[in-house]
Structures are given as structure tokens and as C-alpha cells.
Amino acid sequence: MSTTNPSSSPSTFSNPLNNWKQQGAGVVGPVTLNDGTRGRIVLIGPRNVPGGAMAVLQDKDGGPVKSLPLTAILERLAPADVVAILCAQERQFGESGLPALNPS
């Protein structure tokens, strides 16, 4: 698809996911779960690759850092944030022809 390629920015509200950053071959953005747990979303491959989107979370009570696939924490995220994450992943790694993400 040859869509016009505007430089739009992802979400700014429930989560500050508007600042995706390139990190090596991946893209990283901060995330806050519904229960207040903070962490990062790490995008490293397309939707159909298991582990293509991971969440690296720091427990609120200071427990160890956990790495979980996005699918395991869907219920703990707001719908709008899941939209933002999946769109970023598709724009960075997908083949549907969406305009590129251009992380900073």
C-alpha cells in the first residue's frame, strides 16, 4: 500500500507511549499497567513472532524484574495502550504497509 507517510505520534494519554526509542534492533517505550506497575515494552519482531512484543516489569513492592510476553499482560493494560503498542509493533516490523514508526 502506498499510503501518504505523515509523521504522526502515538498515544500521549493513559501511558506515555509517545516516546518510542530505538534500542539496537528493537524499539522500547515506557508503560504503566492498570495496577500502577511500571515497566517497559520492548518490541523486537512482528505480531506473528512469539516474543515479538515483551513487557519488562518492575514489581511495585521492589521484587525482581520480570520479562513477560505482551499477551500475558493484556488484561493489565488499558485497551488504548494495547492499540498503541500493537500499532507501534506493526509500523516497525509488520508487513501491512503502515507508515513507518520512526522511533527517536
Partner 1 sequence: MNTPRNIEYLLEEIITLPSLPATLARIIQLLNDPESSLSDVGKAITQDPAIALKTLRLANSAAYGLREHVTSVEHAVALLGAKVIQNLVLTATVFDTLSHSAGLVFQHSIAAGLAARAVLRAGPIRLPLQPDEAFVYGLLHDIGKIILEDYMAEDLMQAEEVSRSRRIPAYQVECEVIGADHAEVGGRLAMNWRLPESIASAILAHHDLSRCDNDDSRRYAALLNVADAMCIEAGLPSYEGAVVGDSGESWALLGVESVTIPAIMDDFFASMPEVQELTEAMS
Contacts to partner 1 by CB under 8 A: 1-14, 47, 71, 74-84, 86-88, 90-91, 94, 96-101
Closest residue by Cα to residue 74 from 55, 91, 46: 55
Look up cell 504497509; give the residue: 97
CB of 53 to partner 1, least distance (A): 10
CB nearer to partner 1: pick between 25 and 100: 100
CB nearer to partner 1: pick between 63 and 88: 88
Q: What does the longest C-alpha to C-alpha distance in the chain come to?
A: 48
Look up cell 522511533; give the residue: 103
Q: Which amino acid is at 37?
A: T
CB of 77 to partner 1, least distance (A): 5
CB of 87 to partner 1, least distance (A): 4
Q: Which amino acid is at 97?
A: G
